[in-house]
């Protein structure tokens, strides 16, 4: 049995959205790995100290240190932990998240090189991040996609009489939640029967901003806050279209989950999304921050039921390729 230390923001029990450390960590445990985690501290200083202490604590028994690596504050966690691993001569594996991570490579080239050139291997959830890293001179990269357990996502054939929009992310400015509200406003302005449900916790104050914007536009939006996965999957049966309004992204699990459930996807064409969605085949891609393109794409699906059905069936087939049964093999090869 291999021993792992998994470093990341393990804050799902503190009201935040579950991230890869929660989902991948659990899957690796079920595959026979012993996994120790850090950190669930909300205070950023305590979280960093806990990460460093956990690596040091298990330095004599750990086989690999997995490090969730993002472009924001977590980037400095990843740097600090990777430096400690280097000093202790431990094998560490950054897992590359966040569509804005390539920008971080350019703005902090020396810190980036210290992390990624000295790692055992770098894991990218998408070919998008791999290609961006390769362009900047990094070659030690392997693609292992984010995963789901496909059997937990019952496929439903849907109709699109009324337009029932579902949005699912944490409320962060980079995910542009106000665009979803503006889409609803424009649909109603054109006379369509449309509703919008937005599921997710607040991350940076954007939830209140979104509520204020909905009030300003005089549209009713169902803001549920954070929901357990089983609860929002059950709720998803009431909707017939998934919109992803983000300005930056990598390979969002929420989009893969929606594809698995039979919800057609309309997403901004940013970051790793064109690597995930085959435009017009298993989803529709539109330019970021363009409400009119979103509305036109929605109307296109509403007016063509055969096309609507074809996209959802193709998306379900795509989602099956992210099943843990398939992805597990890549992790086993990497870690054993």
pLDDT at 17: 74
d(CA 215, CA 207): 12
- Within the chain, all domains assigned CATH 3.40.50.2000 are found at 3-145+323-335, 150-320
Specify the pLDDT at position 75. Answer: 93
Pick the closest to residue 187 from 310, 311, 302 (CA basis): 302
**Global confidence as pTM:** 0.91
Q: Hey, is 138 helix, strand or coil? A: coil
Confirm or reject CATH 3.40.50.2000 for domain 150-320, answering yes or no: yes
Kindly give, in sequence order, each residue whose CB lies less than 8 Å from that of residue 88, ignoring residues fewer than 6 positions away.
Answer: 55, 56, 59
Strands 92-96 and 163-168: unpaired
Phi and psi of 161, rounded to 5°? -80, -75
At 263 the pLDDT is: 98
Q: Residue 254 has what pLDDT?
A: 95
What are the 10-residue block averages of pLDDT along the chain, 336 residues in total? Answer: 93 77 94 95 94 98 96 91 98 90 91 96 94 93 96 95 96 96 98 97 95 98 95 97 94 95 98 95 98 98 97 98 96 94
Measure the N-to-C terminal CA separation of the chain; round to a whole number of Å.
9
CATH of domain 3-145+323-335: 3.40.50.2000
Predicted confidence at residue 72, as pLDDT, reads 84
Closest CA to 314 of 279, 286, 269: 279
């Amino acid at each position: 049995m291999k021993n792992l230390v998994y470093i990341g923001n393990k804050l799902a029990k503190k009201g935040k959205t579950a991230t890869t450390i929660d989902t991948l960590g659990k899957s690796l445990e079920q595959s026979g790995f012993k996994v120790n985690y850090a950190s669930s501290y909300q205070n950023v200083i305590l979280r960093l100290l806990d990460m460093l202490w956990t690596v040091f604590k298990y330095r004599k028994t750990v086989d690999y240190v997995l490090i969730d690596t993002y472009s924001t504050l977590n980037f400095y966690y990843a740097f600090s932990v990777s430096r400690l691993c280097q000093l202790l001569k431990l094998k560490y594996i950054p897992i590359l998240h966040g569509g804005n991570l390539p920008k971080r490579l350019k703005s902090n080239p020396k810190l980036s090189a210290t992390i990624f050139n000295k790692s055992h291997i770098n894991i990218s959830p998408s070919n998008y991040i791999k290609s961006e890293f390769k362009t900047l001179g990094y070659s030690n990269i392997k693609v292992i996609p984010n995963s789901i357990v496909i059997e937990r996502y019952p496929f439903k054939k849907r109709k699109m009489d009324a337009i029932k929009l579902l949005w699912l992310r944490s409320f962060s400015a980079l995910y542009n939640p106000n665009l979803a509200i503006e889409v609803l406003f424009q649909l109603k302005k054109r006379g369509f029967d449309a509703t919008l449900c937005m599921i997710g916790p607040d991350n940076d104050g954007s939830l209140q901003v979104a509520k204020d914007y909905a009030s300003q536009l005089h549209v009713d939006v169902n803001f549920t806050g954070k929901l357990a996965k089983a609860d929002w999957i059950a709720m998803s049966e009431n909707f017939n279209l998934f919109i992803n309004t983000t300005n930056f992204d990598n390979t969002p699990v929420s989009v893969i989950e929606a594809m698995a459930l039979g919800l057609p996807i309309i997403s901004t064409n940013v970051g790793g999304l064109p690597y995930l969605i085959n435009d017009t085949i298993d989803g529709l891609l539109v330019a970021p921050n363009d409400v009119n393109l979103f509305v036109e794409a929605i109307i296109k699906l509403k007016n063509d039921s055969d096309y609507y059905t074809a996209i959802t069936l193709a998306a379900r087939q795509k989602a099956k390729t992210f099943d843990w049964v398939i992805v597990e093999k890549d992790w086993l090869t990497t870690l054993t």
